[in-house]
Amino acid sequence: MKRRRLMTQVYLSFAVVVVWLFLGMSVYAGRQVRQFCLELVATDLTARAHLLEDAATEKLVQRDDAGLLALCRSLGGRTATRVTVIRPDGVVVGDSDADPARMENHAGRPEFIEALARGSGRSLRYSHTLEREMMYVAMPLYRQTKLVGALRVAVPVAGIRRTLLVLLGNLALGGLVLAGLALLLSLALARRITRPLEDMRQVAERFAQGELYARLALPEVAETRALAAALNLMAGQLDERIRTIAAQRNELEAVLGSMREGVLVVNAAERLVRINRAAATLLGIDHETARGAALQAAVRHPGLQQLVADTVQRRTPQEADLTVYHTEERSLQAHGTPLDGGVVVVLTDVTRLHRLETVRRDFVANVSHELKTPVTAVQGFTETLLDNPPAGPEEARRMLEIVARQAERLANIIEDLLTLSRLDSGDPGSDIELRTTALAPILQRAVQDVALRAQEQGVRVAMICGEVQARVNDALLEQAVANLLDNAIKYSPAGAEVTVEVDEADDGLRITVSDQGCGIPPEHLPRLFERFYRVDRARSRALGGTGLGLAIVKHIALVHGGSVAVESELGQGSRFGIHLPRAESE
């Protein structure tokens, strides 16, 4: 159904009222004018009757019927009035328009009856004698107190009607003019009433579009003025509250966006109402498309779905450990808290903690294993020497040499552990002092440290280093390079060449130790710098390694603000690099 405008409704209401008033006033005025005209005619007829009263009474008393007839026709012709004289018994004895002898008895005429009863009578009716509608006025005739007859005068109604129609036509024309003016006034009044409301509607639409700064002009009418003031006040309060909500939302978005923990808000229908970027990254989903999607469709993880379902069902906080596989395996700790009509899930990435725990357990196990071997050897041979002394000095010397080698190995492990502990602590008082110096002398000393082992292995060591400087600790950097050279020499065949080279780059310096050994399988490269991690445990122990050399290299690089890297291919050798910042950047 089409809705009409308020302007149309108000104007139509005014128009209906005006039309009904016009019709009512027309009917009322028509009746009043007709009644007024009839009263005027009746008054005029009464006056005419009084003029004939004495003459008609005299003729009735004298019983001069011929004189009455002549009187009636004479006066009737001159005044255009029908004059009738009636005896008390209703017999017509004189009439200006008809023959009395042929007229029926008028005793039953209403005006005659009323005149005898009340002193005057009036009637508007159809005349069967003249065959037209007439206005009659009758009055009794007395001689002293004796009723001698009745005088009746009448005029045709047609003339009255013509006069009445002209008068009513003029009244109708005037009424139409007034009605038209009233309709125009109603239109103006309707516009005046609805214009402020139309303005309010337009401004309200601007409010709905977010233009809460718009304001309404205050009309003169008290009611609409109060409404406009209320709308202006509402807009101001809405603007303030929306700004507050927007600021709080931005703060919430900023907080959620800066959190390292993932946050998901799920409603009762298990749809994602809110998800921050950290959660999307941890779960491997798109941040924009996930919002508003069903949890089962956006996050295909049974553990998380079960956590949400349990939290909704039990209405108590729930926790769960989740493992997700996205680019890499991640361990997450999920905590679900019930809300009114939903659940908040907080995801904490504990992958690093799990890895550190694994490294700690492996480190304890490796330390125990590495220390157990030399300690067991020393303990065993010592007990043998004490309980069962060897038969000859050569056997005793062999056992003591074994004990000495294991003691030396134990001392090396302990020394390396102390070095790692010192590097990890970062204690300023632990002689870890950096200064800007040339790298060539440091690398040269490192080459000299491994020269004897290289000679024994039949491996050549080459150094390529220009006149470059870096902010380093001489002893630590020498130890790191010596460790890399020592490893390269150990795993290089006789006749191979090991190279230590310094390359300059925009972001710093890179010290690279390259060998031509057997290479390292790719699956071992990520864990190569862990403590006690060995690719070939049996061969590493046979070569006298402690399993801590590369870990020490990594920590020395970190102390210098640098990093380590490794590249290797099976059968093609390996390249170990230490990246150091330039001296100028410090």
Average pLDDT over residues 145-174: 80
* Domain end marker among 347, 367, 399: 347
Domain shared by 341 and 390, yes or no:
no
Query: Catalytic pick from 50, 128, 369, 555?
Result: 369
pLDDT tens digit string along 382-407?
777 777 777 677 777 777 777 776 67
pLDDT level of residue 421 (50, 70, 90 thresholds): low
Winning range, highest mean pLDDT, from 158-162, 205-209, 336-340, 389-393: 336-340
Residue 462 in domain: yes
Residue 501 in domain: yes
Domain shared by 129 and 43, yes or no:
yes
Residues 6 or more apart in contact with residue 28 via CB below 8 angstroms: none
Domain shared by 158 and 10, yes or no:
yes
Residue 253 in domain: no
* Helix/strand/coil for 400: helix
Q: What is the secondary structure of 92-124 as a DSSP string?
A: EEEESSS-GGGSPP-TT-HHHHHHHHHS-EEEE
- Phi first, then psi: give them for residue 470, nearest 5 degrees: -150, 160
What H or E segment, with its residue span, contains residue 560? none
CA distance 402 to 407: 8
Residue 340 in domain: yes
Domain shared by 59 and 101, yes or no:
yes
- Dig out the tokens for 327 from the structure: 């680019």
Question: Structural domain tally of the chain?
Answer: 4
pLDDT level of residue 204 (50, 70, 90 thresholds): confident
Q: What is the secondary structure of 243-298 as a DSSP string?
A: HHHHHHHHHHHHHHHH-SSEEEEEETTSBEEEE-HHHHHHHT--HHHHTTSBHHHH
* Domain end marker among 149, 164, 179: 164
Domain shared by 158 and 62, yes or no:
yes
Domain shared by 340 and 360, yes or no:
no
**Domain range holding 309?**
260-347
Domain shared by 374 and 521, yes or no:
no
Domain shared by 407 and 476, yes or no:
no
- How far is C-alpha 335 from the chain's CA centre? 28
Lowest average pLDDT, out of 79-93, 262-276, 337-351, 406-420, goes to: 406-420
Q: Residue 9 pLDDT more than 70?
A: no
Q: What is the CATH number of the domain that holds 365?
A: 1.10.287.130
Domain shared by 380 and 495, yes or no:
no
Domain shared by 11 and 95, yes or no:
yes
pLDDT at 323: 80
CA distance 83 to 88: 16
Q: What is the CATH number of the domain that holds 475?
A: 3.30.565.10
CA distance 55 to 109: 23
Residue 133 in domain: yes
Residue 271 in domain: yes
Domain shared by 410 and 319, yes or no:
no
Q: Residue 18 pLDDT more than 50?
A: yes
pLDDT tens digit string along 38-84?
788 888 888 888 888 888 888 888 888 888 888 888 888 887 888 88
* Domain end marker among 291, 320, 347: 347
Residue 19 in domain: yes
Residue 157 in domain: yes
Q: What is the CATH number of the domain that holds 49?
A: 3.30.450.20
pLDDT at 544: 47
Domain shared by 397 and 521, yes or no:
no
pLDDT level of residue 138 (50, 70, 90 thresholds): very high
Quick check: is 524 catalytic?
no
